Structure 1
Amino acid sequence: MIIFRRGQKDVASALFAEARRVGATVAVLPLLDGSGGELSNRWTEAVRGESRGRLIAVILEDDISVVDDLVRHLCIPSDVNVMAVGVDQLSVVRDPEGVRRRCDDLLASVEGARQMRGVTVSGSCFHVSFADSSAWERHDGGLSPGRVATLPAGEISIQPLTMDGVFVADGAISMNRRIRRDVRLAAHPITLKLDSGFVHDVQCADPRLLVLLQRALLRPGANRVTRFGIGANTDVPAFSARNGAENRRRPGVCLGFADNERGLLVSLIASSAVLSIEHGDVDVCASLEIKVAG
Structure 2
Amino acid sequence: MKSVVSERAALTSQKKMKIWKKLPSLAGVGLLSFGITLTLFNTVAIKAFAHSAGTEINITQQSAATKQRRNNRQYSTLRRNNKGLEVEYLQLRLREWGYYRQNITGNFGADTENAVKRFQQDSDIFPTGVVDAQTWDAIERKPNTTPRTSQRCNRPTLQPGAEGEDVRELQQRLYDLGYLKIRPSNYFGQATKQALIRYQQQQDLPATGTVNARTWEALKLSCKAETVFVVVIPVKDRFTLADVKDYISGAFVYNTDDGPYINAGQFPNQQNARRRADFLRGKGFDAQLIRRNNS
Normalised by the shorter chain, which TM-score bucket? Answer: under 0.3
Which has the bigger relative contact order, CA under 8 A and spacing at least 6? 1
Relative to its length, the structure with more strand (as a share) is 1
